[in-house]
């Protein structure tokens, strides 16, 4: 009896069950199991002590990515070369704004606008962390100033004004900078008789900026209305995910609205809708395919075909129009 009591406090550590089982299993039976992403670091950090486990060492972190759809391990380099699309099942991974622009415009043709514009913490918002510190952290980790890159570039033989959002910067949220950059980009397109294209991915308006972020919805749509008055086209491209305030403003008012396969598109999240309506949601609810079926979007275009398809659409939409050279 005493020995049992004495044994119990001697092993107080296995509070986190995962690492404990992992350790025991790792030594005894299964050296070749692919580690789940969350615990990779711990196992990886402990390895140098053991030294000789060659099999696991061949799969260092950051070289392979597991496809969430087909569960294939894809070599990161292959994934990058394939525009972040799973070569096995065609799953579209998130792609950064710069990579996306690179995949669409002709080499060296892109002139970025307002590259240095950064958000101001006007409300002095503080939650778990201050907005200011969040901005700094995301600027460092993403090497972006905010969640959108705008500019003018050539897509095929068409000059076009392009705005591309990046989900990795604060969930692609729309604050004053995103709204202002897009508005200036649209206005530049109107002035120069260029088509405007916005590629969206966003969780919605940026709560850290309160009302200022909501005002961007009206501002961007106002600029698009002036653009439309000049009979200039605006193509909205929805990528996974495009939701809330962004979907409720510029993302949904395109002359053409196209989406990437399987992109989640909607206003409120499915759980909120389910709770509000007290109804079972149909399968595939809020996917690009669901919206296409019901006529809310015009086409679904895989990422590999996006550039060719944009050129094809612009051929129609810009027929007979010539861009006006930039003033000054």
3-state secondary structure 194-208: CCEEEEEEECCECHH
Could you tell me the smallest distance in angstroms from the CB atom of residue 216 to Zn ion? 35
Q: Which is nearer to Zn ion, 66 or 307 (CB)?
A: 66
Handedness of CA 123, 126, 132, 134 (dihedral sign): negative
For Zn ion, what does the binding mask look like between residues 21 and 60, x meaning CB under 5 A?
A: ----------------------------------------
The residue within the footprint of Zn ion, chosen from 53, 57, 88, 102 (CB under 5 A), is 88
Residue from 66, 69, 98, 321 that binds Zn ion (CB under 5 A)?
Answer: 69
Q: Measure the CA–CA gap between 269 and 203, rounded to whole angstroms.
A: 10
Residue closest to 287 by CA, chosen among 243, 256, 245: 243
Residue 178 CB, shortest distance to Zn ion, in Å, is 31
- Interface with Zn ion, residue 70, by CB under 5 A: yes
Q: Is 86 in the site for Zn ion (CB under 5 A)?
A: yes
DSSP state of 280: P
* Distance (Å, whole) CA 153 – CA 161: 7
According to CB under 5 A, which one of 22, 91, 145, 181 is a site residue for Zn ion? 91
**Is the CB of residue 206 less than 8 Å from the CB of residue 172?**
no
- 185 in Cβ contact with 151 (< 8 Å): yes
Question: How near is the Cβ of 68 to Zn ion at its closest, in Å?
Answer: 8
Asked if residue 148 binds Zn ion (CB under 5 A), the reply is no
The residue count for the chain = 328
Rounded to the nearest whole angstrom, what is the least distance from the CB of residue 84 to Zn ion in the complex?
11
Min separation Cβ 70 and Zn ion, Å: 3
CB-CB contact of 197 with 310 (8 Å): yes
> Using the rule CB under 5 A, is 303 a contact of Zn ion?
no
Which residues bind to Zn ion, rule: CB under 5 A? 67, 69-70, 86, 88-89, 91
């Amino acid at each position: 009896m005493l020995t049992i009591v004495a044994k119990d406090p001697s092993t107080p550590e296995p509070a986190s069950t995962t690492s404990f089982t992992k350790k025991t299993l790792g030594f005894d039976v299964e050296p070749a199991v692919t580690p789940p992403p969350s615990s990779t670091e711990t196992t990886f950090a402990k390895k140098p002590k053991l030294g000789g486990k060659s099999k696991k060492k061949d799969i260092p972190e950051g070289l392979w990515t597991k496809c969430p759809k087909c569960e294939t391990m894809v070599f990161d380099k292959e994934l990058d070369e394939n525009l972040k699309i799973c070569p096995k099942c065609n799953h579209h991974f998130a792609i950064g704004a710069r990579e996306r622009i690179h995949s669409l415009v002709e080499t060296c043709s892109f002139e970025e606008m307002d590259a240095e514009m950064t958000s101001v913490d006007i409300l002095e918002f503080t939650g778990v962390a201050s907005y200011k510190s969040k901005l700094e952290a995301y600027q460092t980790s993403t090497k972006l100033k905010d969640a959108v890159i705008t500019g003018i570039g050539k897509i095929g033989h068409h000059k076009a004004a392009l705005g591309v959002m990046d989900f990795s910067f604060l969930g692609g949220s729309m604050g004053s900078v995103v709204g202002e950059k897009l508005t200036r980009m649209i206005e530049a397109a109107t002035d120069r008789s260029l088509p405007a294209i916005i590629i969206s991915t966003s969780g919605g308006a940026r709560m850290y900026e309160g009302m200022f972020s909501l005002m961007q919805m009206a501002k961007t749509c106002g600029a698009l209305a002036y653009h439309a008055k000049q009979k200039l086209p605006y193509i909205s491209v929805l990528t996974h995910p495009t939701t809330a305030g962004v979907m409720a403003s510029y993302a949904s008012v395109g002359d053409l609205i196209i989406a990437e396969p399987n992109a989640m598109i909607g206003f409120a999240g499915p759980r909120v809708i389910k709770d509000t309506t007290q109804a079972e949601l149909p399968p595939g609810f809020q996917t690009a395919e669901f919206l296409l079926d019901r006529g809310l979007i015009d086409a679904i275009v895989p990422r590999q075909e996006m550039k060719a398809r944009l050129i094809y659409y612009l051929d129609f939409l810009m027929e007979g129009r010539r861009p006006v050279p930039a003033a000054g």
